[in-house]
Structure 1
Amino acid sequence: MEAQITPNTFCTYTALPKDATTTVFFISGNPGLIGYYHPFLSLLGKYLAKTGDQSSIESSIQIYGCSLGGFEVDCENTTSENEPQDRRSKLYDLEDQIVLVHDKLNALMSVNASSTKNTSGSSAKRKVILMGHSVGAYIAMEVLRRHREANPQSETASPSSYTVDFDIIGGVMLFPTVKDIAHSPSGQKLTTLLSFVPHLALIVSFFARILTTLLPTSALKSLVKLVMHNPPSHALDTTTSFLKSTGGVRQAL
């Protein structure tokens, strides 16, 4: 896969793409826009490149991440990374997100495997390190479990449609989400609010749509900047795109 940084996708390499045998696959939290993590992933790539130059453990590492389902934003050059319209308008629950991430991981590994065979002729098994933030950490652990169950060499192997052979060699869980988040103070407040306003997500997304329709982008950015107390530029741009997206606000709630 070619290196690219867009509002919906992040892909870079620590050295030449053709030499990459390991992929760091990043799974975002909620809101699931990969744009919030661009600086972090860029710094991670620079650090790994520097470490690789000193140790020569890996010649090249691919760092990849993409937005979760329902959080894709419109790009100027493409229509939400060529996502089907029905997928963009769909609301994803946690199970849907897990399946989507698992599918994207296997699709990426399939592309990488084909690219490796075409450029170097190597058929070596590729390695993956899952990295998840917040709810992405839970998704990462679930993807790891399902990958092992789908592995033909596993004792608990089950029938699977995945044909790409790769190893998940590790996982990095950044600030995993609270197990019983509904029982937390904030969760209890939201639960109470939802009992009075059962269609809160729909109502909030409706008002967000009205707001983004009436306000020009510059005014919307100024409002977001005021509410978020002068955030970094990447967070400002990502939040503005998030508010203007088709169903991002409702998906987040």
Structure 2
Amino acid sequence: MDSTLTSTTTVQQDKVPFLEYPSGHRDDIKRRQSLIYLIPGNPGLIGYYEPFMKTLRQLLDETEEKELCRHTFHIYGRNLLGFSDGDHQPAFGTTTSSPAIKTEPFTLEDQIRSCYDQVQHISTSTLSPGRSFSSVILIGHSVGSYIALELFHRAAAATTTTQPHDTHDTSPIIPEKQPVPLHFAILLFPTISHIARSRSGQRLDLIRRTPFLDQSAHHVAKFVVDLLPHWLLAAVVGRALGFPPHAAAATLRFLASRDGIWQALHMGKDEMATIGDSEGRWGAGMWEEVREVGGSNYGEEALGDGDWSGEKGKNGRARFFLYFGERDHWVADECRDEFIERRRREGRGGTRIVVDEAGIPHAFCIHHSESVAEKVKVWIEDVAGL
């Protein structure tokens, strides 16, 4: 199956908002070039992550200036589909002429396929002609973490020739136009298992399972928002909720958009139905370490915040770095703890897990961008062997 979107709505790829922070050393052919690609959560507006990305850029600039550093890191991220009115046509709910159906927002499956295509495009078109990134590091936040793991799973399935594709796996295989070197992922507050069991997930799943709410919740929400004048919305978001300027601006754009609320709810309900026992479908091989000569093999451990000392071996390196919230309303504690225990028990060297002890909330990009960027910078240096 190819990576064509399932939606009847046409994507305007050149109008999807994005943020890009290239390295000042990206033209240095003596350095190892790495792409850091950020996949946002829901609502999928990259504007929420601007301070995080800027801080990470500044921190990695310091890393790149170290005397023995031979790495460069290019940071890129963009909206998920449907959260900007300009990125698609026609509007959601429009009846098409042939066939006569109403267009709908993009599904979680659409987002996965779109992200794969974009990672592939950015990784091969950003540097000077004839050059591509030697590795790609995905950063996924919330459902962006699930999307990141799906990219790893499908890319591996598409390129595997020695083992047959799991016949129980119904996810589409994305064919390789040109190999994308997905090596590592940093997963922040990941919603990767049974999201409908979480506190917020239970409420959203109730909407999904209630016919009237399932069909009308987005209309009701948009109607209420549109009743409020812009100045009042701005006061609620900026003063009552205490959002800083970047988050307030992103939220107001989202609320004022024609289709953003519909897209967020549609995708959220799809997440409730889709993100269940994905771990079983991905298979145990997903969590195996990256084998590298002279690399390090980090033991799979759940550690306290800031404690990354793990048992090291000789021939491998962790593939996934997961940062869970201590009390995350989008992640059920029991699902998180069961996941950690399975990683301990099965021990394949491919994951490092931290449970936050600093009280950072799920939506870290509102108030805690700088502190999370500092953690991510350390993990990227760990990945690069610096």
Secondary structure of residue in 2 paired with 1:26: strand
Report the AA paired with residue 140 of structure 1: A
Per the TM alignment, residue 133 of structure 1 is displaced from its structure 2 partner at its CA by 0.7
Per the TM alignment, residue 250 of structure 1 is displaced from its structure 2 partner at its CA by 1.6
Matched with 1:49 is 61
Matched with 2:155 is 147
1:10-89 paired onto structure 2 within 5 Å: 10-19=19-28, 21-72=33-84, 80=86, 83-86=87-90
* Structure whose alpha-carbon radius of gyration is higher: 2
TM, length-normalised to structure 2: 0.53
Per the TM alignment, residue 201 of structure 1 is displaced from its structure 2 partner at its CA by 5.8
Matched with 1:98 is 112
Secondary structure of residue in 2 paired with 1:177: coil
From 182, 185, 207, the equivalent of 2:199 is 185
How many residue pairs were aligned?
231
Query: Is contact 1:22–1:61 with CA below 8 Å preserved after alignment?
Result: yes
The structure-2 alpha-carbon separation of the partners of 1:43 and 1:156, relative to structure 1 and needing over 3 Å to count, comes to farther
The structure-2 alpha-carbon separation of the partners of 1:187 and 1:55, relative to structure 1 and needing over 3 Å to count, comes to same
Distance 1:202 1:192 in 2: 12
Report the AA paired with residue 116 of structure 2: H
Gaps of at least 5 residues in structure 2 are 1-14, 93-102, 166-172, 266-386
1:225-244 paired onto structure 2 within 5 Å: 225-228=238-241, 230-244=242-256
Query: Is contact 1:32–1:68 with CA below 8 Å preserved after alignment?
Result: yes
Which structure has more helix as a fraction of its residues? 1
The structure-2 alpha-carbon separation of the partners of 1:157 and 1:149, relative to structure 1 and needing over 3 Å to count, comes to farther
Distance 1:70 1:110 in 2: 25
Per the TM alignment, residue 100 of structure 1 is displaced from its structure 2 partner at its CA by 1.2
Distance 1:200 1:55 in 2: 59
Per the TM alignment, residue 184 of structure 1 is displaced from its structure 2 partner at its CA by 2.6
Report the AA paired with residue 13 of structure 1: P
Query: Is contact 1:71–1:248 with CA below 8 Å preserved after alignment?
Result: yes
Structure ranking higher on relative contact order (CA contacts 8 Å, 6+ apart)? 1
Query: Is contact 2:34–2:71 with CA below 8 Å preserved after alignment?
Result: no
Distance 2:152 2:116 in 1: 9
Query: Is contact 1:21–1:61 with CA below 8 Å preserved after alignment?
Result: yes
Further displaced range: 235-244 or 12-21: 12-21
Distance 2:214 2:67 in 1: 49
Report the AA paired with residue 85 of structure 1: Q
Report the AA paired with residue 64 of structure 1: Y
Distance 1:210 1:192 in 2: 21
Report the AA paired with residue 24 of structure 2: A
**Residues 1:172 and 2:217 are matched in the alignment:** no
**Residues 1:134 and 2:142 are matched in the alignment:** yes
Query: Is contact 2:138–2:186 with CA below 8 Å preserved after alignment?
Result: yes
From 236, 246, 252, the equivalent of 1:223 is 236
The structure-2 alpha-carbon separation of the partners of 1:46 and 1:199, relative to structure 1 and needing over 3 Å to count, comes to farther
Distance 1:210 1:131 in 2: 34
Secondary structure of residue in 2 paired with 1:18: coil
Gaps of at least 5 residues in structure 1 are 1-5, 74-79
Per the TM alignment, residue 127 of structure 1 is displaced from its structure 2 partner at its CA by 1.4
Distance 1:223 1:185 in 2: 24
TM, length-normalised to structure 1: 0.77
Per the TM alignment, residue 36 of structure 1 is displaced from its structure 2 partner at its CA by 0.7
Query: Is contact 1:27–1:132 with CA below 8 Å preserved after alignment?
Result: yes
Per the TM alignment, residue 55 of structure 1 is displaced from its structure 2 partner at its CA by 4.6
Per the TM alignment, residue 8 of structure 1 is displaced from its structure 2 partner at its CA by 2.0
Determine what percentage of the aligned residue pairs are the same residue: 32
Per the TM alignment, residue 200 of structure 1 is displaced from its structure 2 partner at its CA by 3.0
The structure-2 alpha-carbon separation of the partners of 1:156 and 1:27, relative to structure 1 and needing over 3 Å to count, comes to farther
Matched with 1:108 is 122
Secondary structure of residue in 1 paired with 2:238: helix
Query: Is contact 1:14–1:60 with CA below 8 Å preserved after alignment?
Result: yes
Query: Is contact 1:70–1:87 with CA below 8 Å preserved after alignment?
Result: no
Query: Is contact 2:221–2:261 with CA below 8 Å preserved after alignment?
Result: yes
RMSD of aligned Cα (Å): 3.0
Deviations 1:49-83 (A, max 9, x none): 1011015534532101011112125xxxxxx3xx3
Report the AA paired with residue 31 of structure 1: P
Deviations 1:63-107 (A, max 9, x none): 01011112125xxxxxx3xx3414887412221211111111112
The structure-2 alpha-carbon separation of the partners of 1:138 and 1:192, relative to structure 1 and needing over 3 Å to count, comes to closer
Query: Is contact 1:35–1:238 with CA below 8 Å preserved after alignment?
Result: yes
Distance 1:7 1:43 in 2: 23
